[in-house]
Amino acid sequence: MSDVSTSVAAADGADCVTEFLVDADAVPEDYGEPVFEYADRHLYRVAHDADADCPCVCLGEFDTPVDRFFAHAGDLEVVFHAESFEQLQTIVGEFRDRYRDVDIQRLVRAPTGGAPRDSVFVDRGKLTDRQLETLRTAYEMGYFAQPREANATDVAAELDITASTLTEHLAAAQRKLFADVLEEGS
């Protein structure tokens, strides 16, 4: 399941409702009829018992916009938007009470002024200490500036490594960071 558009709280004992899009070629047989069919995806609406123990019902209780649910290999990734940091703390606390194995992977704060941006979380923790040091040194020396202020030989000498090793460290670090920026895996 992906691209959850809404998860709505139950009102006075009514069912909670979740709407989501599913790739047309990946619809399970037990889903029934879609609410709407696009060329490559189908929109479904599912009603949940207000007492159901699932994340979409929990988020619906907070009237929280859900960006997406993504289920894979027994794990569930939930992306939602909290109105405030206090609401986020309350929701995370509720999730931890209900789902003991919950693990917060990313918190992203949207820009508060100006035009909205396409923000993504970049996990520097994926980099080794050496890769981070190499990137930082190359950046500080102007290796990535236009025009370039330092070449690979200069940066490698500063780090006491060969230019070839510098290139390997930079390529490995860039590959990891680009995976986050391009949202290609976790």
Domain contains 104: no
* Ranges 52-56, 81-85, 106-110, 132-136, most confident: 132-136
pLDDT of residue 145: 95
Domain contains 110: no
pLDDT of residue 98: 86
Domain count, the chain: 2
The domain of 168 spans 124-181
The answer, yes or no, to whether residue 36 has pLDDT greater than 90, is no
Domain contains 68: yes
pLDDT of residue 25: 79
pLDDT of residue 61: 78
Identify the residue with better confidence: 166 or 8. Answer: 166
Identify the residue with better confidence: 34 or 137. Answer: 137
DSSP 90-159: HHHHHHHHH-TT-------PPPSSSS--------GGGS-HHHHHHHHHHHHHTTTSSS-SS-HHHHHHHH
Task: Give the pLDDT mean for 111-122.
Answer: 62
Domain contains 28: yes
> Amino acid identity, residue 124?
R
Task: Quote the radius of gyration of the chain (alpha carbons, Å).
Answer: 22
- Number of CB atoms found within 10 A of residue 177's CB: 17
Domain contains 113: no
- Give the C-alpha separation, 93 to 100, whole Å: 10
Given pLDDT bands bounded at 50, 70 and 90, which one contains residue 1?
A: very low
